[in-house]
Amino acid sequence: MGYTNAGKSTLFNCLTGAGVLASSRMFATLDPKLKAIELPSRRKVLLSDTVGFIRNLPHTLVTSFRATLEEVAQAEVLLHVRDAASTYGEEQKSQVEKVLGELEALDKPRIEVMNKIDLLGEHERQRVLARTQARDGVGTDEVAVSAQTGEGIDALLSAIDRALHSDPVIDAELRVPQHEGAALAAIEAGMVVHRRAYEGNLVRLGVSGPASLLGRLRKFRVRDELNVKETS
Ligand SMILES: Nc1nc2c(ncn2[C@@H]2O[C@H](COP(=O)(O)OP(=O)(O)OP(=O)(O)O)[C@@H](O)[C@H]2O)c(=O)[nH]1
Ligand SMILES: [Mg+2]
């Protein structure tokens, strides 16, 4: 979400363009502004594009606006897309925050996405980059990107991963019989595999993956005491 013309739809297309999941076609049919993407942690999230926030939204419009921006209320993390090249950046930011206040969404986790950094002169560009790097992972995250050139998109995906606290990513050791094709396929599709070793007809995997998926595969988890013993 963000001010009109900040580049929300361009960013949406940039984030969803390359790695759109086949399963997201179902959502695309229901709503073209909703698409599933995969984060570096392998967690899948739905990304939603919203209409632009306009200047001085009349109070009477807020009710209907609320319906349009249902996504904002439902979102777990908000990406506030800002036009880093606009002279009215600060004013636009406070307008957007005012609307977020109306939607009672100010306390949601929020990432400030400074977009259009390709339009900045070198001096201004360094200033924005220095500030966003300084805030990396601390408080409200701030990431500098160009939705047009793709610069900074990987950093943005990592920031989304950091901001998402439901279904956290957990490190685990799994031991799976090789004939458990479905379990092995689920691991390949949904986790990051760090190590893989074969022990007879078992596959031993060092993974990090979403707690929900590890929960479903819990019977294959190697007990923690064992890990400690083997790594120490
Ligand atoms: N140079 C440059 N232009 C960009 C970038 N991102 C978006 N634009 C341009 O900015 C304009 C607005 O982009 P949109 O993606 O339509 O902006 P929006 O926030 O979706 O606009 P609304 O939906 O109308 O609120 C378009 O002309 C884009 O091509 C960027 O990173 N760099
Ligand atoms: Mg748009």
More confident residue, 141 or 81: 81
Supply φ then ψ for residue 207, to 5 degrees: -130, 160
And the tokens for 205? 């995997």
Q: Which atom, in ligand 1's list, is nearest to the CA of 13? A: 15
Query: Looking at per-residue confidence, does 30 or 214 come out higher?
Result: 214
pLDDT at 59 over 80: no
Q: What is the mean pLDDT of residues 5-34?
A: 72
In angstroms, what CA-CA distances link 75 with 3, 7, 69, 86, 194?
A: 18, 19, 10, 26, 31
**All structural domains of the chain with their residue ranges:** 8-163, 169-231
Amino acid at 51: V
What's the mean pLDDT when you consider all of the chain? 84
pTM of the model: 0.82
* Atom number of ligand 1 nearest to Cα 81: 19
CA gap 125, 119 in Å, rounded: 9
Per-residue CA distances from 63 to 66, 70, 97 (Å): 5, 11, 17
* Ligand 1 within 6 A of CB of 52: yes
For the CA of 51, the closest atom of ligand 1 is: 23
Q: Does the beta carbon of 118 sit less than 6 angstroms from any atom of ligand 1? A: yes
- Residue 192's nearest CA partner among 224, 176, 170, 222 is 170
Task: Kindly tell me if the per-residue pLDDT of 55 is higher than 90.
Answer: no
Q: How far is the CA of 49 from the centre of ligand 2 (A)?
A: 7
CA of 106 to the centre of ligand 2 (A): 21
CATH class of 8-163: alpha beta
Q: Which residues pair with 115 in a beta bridge?
A: 83
* Residue 70 C-beta-side C-alpha neighbours within 13 Å: 5
Spatial contact of 170 and 216, defined as CB atoms under 8 Å apart: no
CA–CA distance, 195 with 188 (Å, rounded to integer) = 12
Q: Kindly report, residue by residue over 169-226, the tens digit of the pLDDT.
A: 999 999 999 999 999 999 999 999 999 999 999 999 999 999 999 999 999 999 754 5
Residue 114 — left, alpha, or beta (φ > 0 → left; ψ -120 to 50 → alpha)? beta
Angle at 33 between CA 27 and CA 35, to 5 degrees: 45
Domain 169-231: which CATH class? alpha beta
Give the ligand at the shortest distance from the Cα of 3.
1
Residue 11 alpha carbon to ligand 1 centre in Å: 8
What's the mean pLDDT in 66-75?
73
Give the pLDDT band of residue 228 (cuts 50, 70, 90).
very low
**Confidence band for 230, pLDDT divided at 50, 70 and 90:** very low
Q: For 50-58, what is the mean pLDDT? A: 68
Instruction: In whole angstroms, give the CA distance from residue 188 to residue 74.
Output: 30
Point out the least confidently predicted range of 51-65, 71-85, 143-157, 207-221. Answer: 51-65
Q: What is the pLDDT of residues 71-102, one digit of tens each?
A: 788 899 999 999 999 999 999 999 888 888 88
Q: What is the pLDDT of residue 132?
A: 78
Name the residue with higher pLDDT: 207 or 58. 207
